[in-house]
Structure 1
Amino acid sequence: MAKDLEVEKGKTDALLREMLPPSVAQQLKQGLSVDAREYEEATVMFTDVPTFQQIVPLCQPKDIVHLLNELFTKFDRLIGIQKAYKVETVGDSYMSVGGIPDTVDDHCEVICHLALGMVMEARTVCDPITNTPLHIRAGIHSGPVVAGVVGAKMPRYCLFGDTVNTASRMESHSPIGRIHCSENAKKCAESTGRFEFEPRGKVQIKGKGEMNTYFLLRSFKRSIWEIIDRRRDENCNSIDGYNELREGYVDDVINKITQRNSKTCTIS
């Protein structure tokens, strides 16, 4: 009985560590209070499936659950690889953060690598309606954050502040398949890492006004295959994987189709 009890206790502890940061979970187990903390700078990212609301009415409930479970399980694996922290999921939205609860200087670099991996991995999931690769979008912002445990029953480690709101806005204003970054996030990522960004210019962001934003294109430090921790097929994959990432951009595909179908008018 003692052995069985120990096994069950181990399962409970493991589940608690999955729901909360390990350091926070340990404090709660010891009966200690967990004080809220303000972080001077962290990087928050939201990702979602833009076509999710079109998928739901046309699928069986079990298919929706299977889709999100498959997608989020792949994201969870990347979270572990990149050593980021998964905050929560709500519907098709997946929230993650770098630099919390353990502060690190390269928090934005971590999240940028995570975003590149997520965009690539999402395409290995099949859209149940179109039977084509699934596309997500991501929004990233860096800034001060307040974090703490909320609730006694099913306690959650929650983030608060304008940084969270701005990251959410970056996501909701992002084109399908793209990683949309604020100027703060770009500067923070470049302070420790080496990335290629594409300027989007000034964008009217709801509740924020005009903001200079950027699209994250690639990392010069790590290949896509390193980021997602998968072996490259030398017969069909490029060395760094960014050609494959670029080819899957939804807006580029639409532009190619438009150009192919458009007719050129000449005046003689």
Structure 2
Amino acid sequence: MPTRESILTLVRSGLSYPQIGERLGVTPGLAYLIATGLPADGGDAPGWETDKRPGALSTSTQHLSNPKSIVPQRDEQTDAWIRERALADPALRAAWAAHGVAPSALAEDDDDIIDVIGHDHGQARHLQLQLQTLPGASSGGRPDDLRRRAEAFALLRAKLKAHEHAEEEVFWPLVRDRLPKGGDLAQRAEQQEHEAEGLLAQIESADPATPEFDELVRTLTSALRKHVAFEDTVLAELRERVDEAAREEAGRRFKAARSANSASIAATGKAG
């Protein structure tokens, strides 16, 4: 343990308490306490006469007592250790095995097409989150992780296909008919959906156990986020310009079209 005199010698040499602490292997606050007998946080300080003590500072010493801020960072070694511990725990393994990627089935009590489409967006966001959080091949994903990612993608693919079919049949014709520049809005949306369809086809043909799949999923996530944001602005304008009765009638037709397409996908046993 450093002595009072050894610390005061370093003080007289011009070193600061943080420098002294680093040199002697103690905290700056402890170095200050040894040298002056005073806590660096200002507690139990006798008053103005402390300035006369050798080594005492006339300015605030609070910074000497605060521990160094450490921002924890993730690293591969820590992630691997946590994963191994989780896999060795029977309860955690059982919970993970029972975990499904499908979004919860929520009742659609409202027929308003704005709420119906909002419901679909929420389901898509859930599946996108599964694709983002489950580790892929490029981040050390295990076979079960890759299987779940493939399952999440298949569900997302099917939901998007049914959703887009209903939009083409009901939503975008309503936008063209009822909104100023509705044709331009619909054309822009169709272009975005065409680009997303190309990405979906590429992902569908990619191997989930490859980095290529991971990169395509990242690109798709970004594209879908932008498309949903665009549709949300259209929905907001639709709410202002189309009365509730018309929106509810459109919502019922939208759900019917979506259900018919979902049934067709289920019957053929594939999402594309």
Answer 1 or 2: which has greater helix percent: 2
Fold similarity call, TM over 0.5: no
What TM-score do you get using the length of structure 1 for normalisation? 0.25
What TM-score do you get using the length of structure 2 for normalisation? 0.24
Answer 1 or 2: which has greater strand percent: 1
Q: Which has the larger radius of gyration?
A: 2
